[in-house]
A = this chain, B = another copy of it.
Amino acid sequence: MSQSFTEENYLKAIYKLSRRSDKGVSTNALAERMETKASSVTDMLKKLAAKKLVNYEKYQGVTLSKKGQQIAVDIIRKHRLWEVFLLEHLGFSGEEVHQVAEELEHINSETLIDRLDKFLGYPKYDPHGGPIPDSKGVFPEPKRVKLDELEVGRKTKVMGITEHSDAFLSHLKKLGLELGTNFHLKERFDFDRSVEIELNGKTVQLSYDVAKNIFVSHNS
């Protein structure tokens, strides 16, 4: 069975919205995410339910079926692999990436995506730190952690960020932090959860708001 782009986008949206609340996803939440009307969502949910891609009961919200989840995860795999390609090989940066990957993720060829995966060296994380599931839909063990959770004393490395505003990016740049930058976590101050790190011999302070948006490696 095959899905339209629209159906795939609904499945992906349901997947993402399900992550942070193990209740079913509400029609309105989905409508907002999809930038459409609640009535349109209801129509689509009926269609997806008929295809057994979601579990849907009137007024009760929706969850993904096994099949629906597989499809959603596969789209995420494609999206993230394309992001790696765009960022690491085509020199994309910032916002453009996401927009283009949104289109590329719907290209429908197992061969293509497996070869792309190989070309990229079987990456386990995208440049924003998002884990990339393998061709069977299995996510890698996360051996990354947000900087606000790392133990004091560790030597570590920037693996990704979870905030992509220009303001944040330029702030990081000024601090000397970018993807792959190695540094040492010296101290954490409990009263505001800010941290002190050392990179390239310089000591730098990072607020909690900065630290919580930085993924760092947690090697063993």
Contacts and interface: CB of A to CB of B under 8 A. Distances in A.
Interface string A95-138: 01001100110011101100110110000000000000000000
Interface string A76-106: 0000000000100111100010011001100
A216 B90 CA distance: 31
Given A89-B119, A119-B89, A119-B90, A107 B112 contact: no
B111 A103 contact: no
A52 to B, nearest CB: 26
B109 A90 contact: no
Interface residues of A, number: 19
A108 B99 CA distance: 10
Contact of A90 (B96, B103, B104, B112): B112
A111 B100 contact: yes
A96 to B, nearest CB: 6
Contact of A103 (B92, B96, B109): B109
B108 A92 contact: no
Contacts of A111: 92, 96, 100
15 contacts: A86-B112, A90-B112, A90-B116, A90-B118, A90-B119, A91-B115, A92-B115, A96-B109, A96-B111, A99-B109, A100-B109, A103-B107, A103-B109, A104-B104, A104-B107
Interface of A: 86, 89-92, 96, 99-100, 103-104, 107-109, 111-112, 115-116, 118-119
Given A90-B118, A99-B109, A100-B109, 16 more contacts: A86-B112, A89-B119, A90-B115, A90-B116, A90-B119, A91-B115, A92-B111, A92-B115, A96-B109, A100-B107, A100-B111, A100-B112, A103-B107, A103-B108, A104-B107, A107-B107
